[in-house]
Homo-oligomer: A and B are copies of this chain.
Amino acid sequence: MSNILPFKLTDELIEHIEHLIQEHKDEELKTYLQQLHYADIAEITHELSFDDATYVLRLISREKASEAMTELDDDLRDYVLENLSDKEIAQDLLELDTDDAADLIADLSEERQTEILSQIDDVEHARDIVDLLRYDEDSAGGLMAKELVKVNENWSVDNCMKQMREQAQYVTRVHSIYVVDDDEKLKGRLSLKDLLTAPPKSHIKDIYISKVDYVYVTDTSEEVARLMSKYDLEAIPVVDMTKRLVGRITIDDIVDVIKEEAERDYQMAAGITQDVEADDSILKLTKARLPWLLIGMFGGLGAASIINGFQQGMQNYPILLIFIPLIQATAGNVGVQSSAIIVQGLANDSIDGQLWNRLFKEFLLGLINGLAIAFIVMLVSHFIFGSEWFVSLTVCIALVTVIINAAVIGTFIPIFLDKRGIDPAVATGPFITTSNDVFGILIYFMIAKIVLGF
């Protein structure tokens, strides 16, 4: 909520904007858009056609447009960049902080990048962007910006004040003042308060705080997010292997990392393979959803051939068949619960060694939950479906076994994947459900075969 105008995206607003575009009422459109926050402009462009979105982003000032472009979905951003001239993009890059600038053109071809960067007059800004483009986007290097305030430990306080006033112009928000030595190595940080109260002739090396958190340029963005949120840091300096200060990561970038991570895990648990939104095209949604459905299908066909293999039992004890959905649903649910807790624990780093303890605990949990459910099922099976007691008992033994199995598998697989360096989140959702479906039904019929002897 802003006192300028609380922005609300409505169908009427979009229609109005489309109308203004069609009628070429550029002045009116520009006046309206120019007063909005760039995040709101980005929201609007996502509701327009790609061409209209491009039109809008060329119409408004480069300052506003460049910020809005940092918030676009990949497809739209690619389209817009293709339709902007090198000069326009170069202007955008100049408006942006180096990290956002590098992100904006990261997916373009190297030739296009070179052409665009050659149009930037501010050589240092261009060089910083080139430098940032080298880093993996999921690393500290990919998150960091070059804009920061740093002072040399050998400077005097009054020289320092002069230098800082200069540097602060280029930095949107000064979180910390970092202290480096003559080799640009990070030595510590400086509080503004200490700087203001120190005698002007004293040296930085006498007043700085040597305790400073930092990350390496190659650390993963997940690790940086974990550190910054655990230690409540608003900014953290980034150093290279020789501990030279190369950049700085701020908390707003971390908020994005945390949200993206959570969304990705959530989608994986739901069996969606790529980052999609409800508004994406049917083709994109199909691509994201069909693969997991196919895995589920093969699981289902596997289960079909297992049941087919127990035809004998099917004929002698048809009552066994009506419990297939129960066995399957329970195995799936238990597996998802176990794996979700472990995946979340691994993400929070709150799970350490002791694999056997954990499996034993899941075994106990499965046993307790299994007995509770089996007891009810036994009563229902006997009194409502009229199955004989020993058949009902068979169903219950199988059910408890299936639940324990699902709980143990749901715990084991994510931990195993994590130890192998694979993202354990892939072991949630359809993957764990499907394998538990198939295993569950196999166990069910095998136990029935042994107990009932068919």
- In the complex, how many angstroms separate the beta carbon of A423 from the nearest chain B beta carbon? 15
A350 interface contact, C-beta 8 A: yes
This chain: how many copies in the complex?
A: 2
Closest Cβ neighbor of A346 among chain B residues: B278
Closest Cβ neighbor of A276 among chain B residues: B341
Q: Which of A26-34, A50-58, A150-158, A261-269 contacts B (4 or more CB under 8 A)?
A: A261-269
* Chain B contacts for A210, CB-based, 8 A: 3
Q: Which of A147-190 contact B (CB under 8 A)?
A: 168, 173
A123 interface contact, C-beta 8 A: no
Whether A277 and B231, one on each chain, are in contact in the complex, defined by CB atoms closer than 8 angstroms, is: no
A217 interface contact, C-beta 8 A: no
Interface centre among A193, A332, A434 (most CB of B within 10 A): A332
Whether B39 and A231, one on each chain, are in contact in the complex, defined by CB atoms closer than 8 angstroms, is: yes
Q: How far is the CA of A311 from the CA of B314 in the complex (A)?
A: 13
Q: How far is the CA of A279 from the CA of B384 in the complex (A)?
A: 39
Contact A297 B39, CB 8 Å, known A234-B251, A337-B289, A364-B282 = no
- In the complex, how many angstroms separate the beta carbon of A131 from the nearest chain B beta carbon? 22
Whether A328 and B326, one on each chain, are in contact in the complex, defined by CB atoms closer than 8 angstroms, is: no
Q: Mark A335-369, 1 if CB is under 8 A from B, else 0.
A: 01101111011001011111000100100110011
Q: How far is the CA of A332 from the CA of B380 in the complex (A)?
A: 24
Q: How far is the CA of A2 from the CA of B233 in the complex (A)?
A: 12
Whether B255 and A255, one on each chain, are in contact in the complex, defined by CB atoms closer than 8 angstroms, is: yes
* Chain B contacts for A342, CB-based, 8 A: 278
Whether A340 and B385, one on each chain, are in contact in the complex, defined by CB atoms closer than 8 angstroms, is: no
Whether B270 and A297, one on each chain, are in contact in the complex, defined by CB atoms closer than 8 angstroms, is: no
Whether A296 and B2, one on each chain, are in contact in the complex, defined by CB atoms closer than 8 angstroms, is: no
* Chain B contacts for A353, CB-based, 8 A: 11
Q: Which of A271-293 contact B (CB under 8 A)?
A: 271-272, 276-279, 282, 285-286, 289-290, 292-293
Q: Which of A6-43 contact B (CB under 8 A)?
A: 9-11, 37, 39
A216 interface contact, C-beta 8 A: yes
Q: How far is the CA of A326 from the CA of B433 in the complex (A)?
A: 12
A325 interface contact, C-beta 8 A: yes
* Chain B contacts for A279, CB-based, 8 A: 345, 350-351
- In the complex, how many angstroms separate the beta carbon of A437 from the nearest chain B beta carbon? 5
Contact A326 B303, CB 8 Å, known A37-B231, A278-B350 = yes
Closest Cβ neighbor of A280 among chain B residues: B341
Closest Cβ neighbor of A228 among chain B residues: B255
Interface centre among A232, A296, A328, A380 (most CB of B within 10 A): A232
Whether A324 and B325, one on each chain, are in contact in the complex, defined by CB atoms closer than 8 angstroms, is: yes
Q: Which of A137-155 contact B (CB under 8 A)?
A: none
Q: Which of A191-213 contact B (CB under 8 A)?
A: 193, 210-213
Q: Mark A87-112, 1 if CB is under 8 A from B, else 0.
A: 00000000000000000000000000
Interchain residue pairs with CB less than 8 A apart (25) = A1-B215, A1-B227, A2-B214, A3-B214, A11-B352, A173-B234, A232-B252, A251-B252, A262-B263, A266-B269, A271-B337, A278-B358, A286-B365, A289-B334, A293-B333, A294-B373, A294-B376, A299-B325, A301-B377, A303-B326, A303-B329, A304-B323, A324-B325, A329-B332, A332-B433
Besides A3-B214, A279-B351, A325-B325, 19 more A-B contacts (Cβ < 8 Å) are A2-B212, A39-B230, A234-B251, A234-B252, A251-B255, A262-B263, A266-B340, A266-B344, A270-B336, A271-B336, A285-B365, A292-B333, A293-B373, A297-B326, A297-B329, A297-B376, A301-B380, A304-B326, A325-B437
